[in-house]
Amino acid sequence: MATILVVGGAGYIGAHCCLDLAGRGHLPVVYDNLSNGHEEFVRWGPLEVGDLHDRDRLREVLARHQPAAIIHFAALIEVGQSLLDPLSFYDNNVGGTIALLSAASEAGIHRLVFSSTCATYGVPDATPMAEEHRQVPINPYGRSKLMVERILSDLDDIRGLRSVVLRYFNAAGADEEGRIGEWHDPETHAIPIAIEAAMGRRAGFTINGSDYDTRDGTCIRDFVHVMDLADAHTRAVEHLLAGGTSATVNLGTGTGTSLRELLDVVRKVSGRDVPVSLGPRRDGDSPSLVADNRRARALLGWEPKRSIEDIVASAWRWHSSRNAG
């Protein structure tokens, strides 16, 4: 069993990763400031409350637990907000990561799995997108993640920090046993919003842009189940623990779903209507983002197991349970 520091482990993907790590015999230690995470999601290991910028607190936690590796999830992630307040994104996503990397280096920790994003690619030249696709992000969120990727590459060359960068596409779904799920406030992600509309908890679902050059005019996204993502993170940690070298890996199903198709799946799973309105395109949105995941299969032995129907069904169960009564 290895002790793994999971930074941002009280958040959506981080908490599911802790669940998977514990199921594989590892001890996840969560480091989170709880600004976006939820204390009740920390169920598979200890919680250390602290901020990324607090280097003294980071040093204290690293000295106490002596983790074999770090998984770094802590980031601001909402694309639209990054366009309104880019400094906060650079301060948290880049500045906070630098503080974490400095503390890790001082503690002699040289293995890190980084939660990156397909937003580093920008508008695709072709889909599906392989890891070699040019990186020209079109929003501060994507640019902040790309900056960290380049910092990690430099540290690999200069200081021997081995890292696995996981560029995942659209995380979605929930733990199938309903213990944890997707919970943002405010909610900005497509599947929870569609489910809330089906439940009558919001007026409807707005499709932002219906004139893209796609098969039905709406954006196409590669939705990947959060437990499949968690599995990939555990595999990436074990790759590094076994002496594996640094790598960059896409995480997606390789299959795109348009927003109109997604809404049809929500209607099918829920048995309810989802009222729809049309709105203008949003700045920073790409028409289509679909992963080429062959490297993940080859390097990590990873394969996404759950379909878009599975994703929506697990999310529906989570939200139905959470909003019962």
Q: Is there a single domain that holds both residue 96 and residue 158? A: yes
Q: Which helix (H) or strand (E) holds 46?
A: none
183 in any annotated domain: no
* The token pair that represents 11 in the structure block: 């958040």
Domain count, the chain: 2
Which one is catalytic: 12, 31, 90, 141? Answer: 141
Helix (H, G, I), strand (E, B) or coil at 319: helix
Query: What pLDDT was estimated at residue 284?
Result: 67
Residue 120: CA atoms inside 13 Å, Cβ hemisphere, count? 24
55 in any annotated domain: yes
41 in any annotated domain: yes
- Cis omega before residue 140 (within 30°)? no
* The token pair that represents 42 in the structure block: 């920390």
- C-alpha span between 159 and 60 (Å, rounded): 22
Which neighbouring-strand residues pair with 71? 6, 113
Q: Is there a single domain that holds both residue 70 and residue 121? A: yes
Q: Is there a single domain that holds both residue 22 and residue 39? A: yes
Q: Is there a single domain that holds both residue 140 and residue 267? A: no
Q: What is the pLDDT along the chain (325 residues), one digit of tens a residue?
A: 899 999 999 999 999 999 999 999 999 999 999 999 999 999 999 999 999 999 999 999 999 999 999 999 999 988 888 999 999 999 999 999 999 999 999 999 999 999 999 999 998 888 899 999 999 999 999 999 999 999 999 999 999 999 999 999 999 999 999 999 988 777 788 999 999 999 999 999 999 999 999 999 999 999 999 999 999 999 999 999 999 999 999 999 999 999 999 999 999 999 999 999 999 998 767 788 899 999 999 999 999 999 999 999 999 999 988 765 4
Please give the model's pTM, rounded to 2 decimal places: 0.94
- C-alpha span between 112 and 297 (Å, rounded): 20
- C-alpha span between 154 and 171 (Å, rounded): 28
| CATH code of the domain covering residue 275 | 3.90.25.10
Longest dimension (CA), the chain: 56
Q: Is there a single domain that holds both residue 77 and residue 53? A: yes
- C-alpha span between 30 and 28 (Å, rounded): 6
**Annotated catalytic residue 212:** no
Q: Is there a single domain that holds both residue 8 and residue 56? A: yes
Domain span at residue 149? 3-172+225-251
Q: Would you say 149 and 112 are in contact if contact means Cβ atoms under 8 Å apart?
A: no
Burial of 112 (0-12, 13-18, 19+ CB in 10 A): buried
* The token pair that represents 54 in the structure block: 């607090």
Q: Is there a single domain that holds both residue 100 and residue 230? A: yes
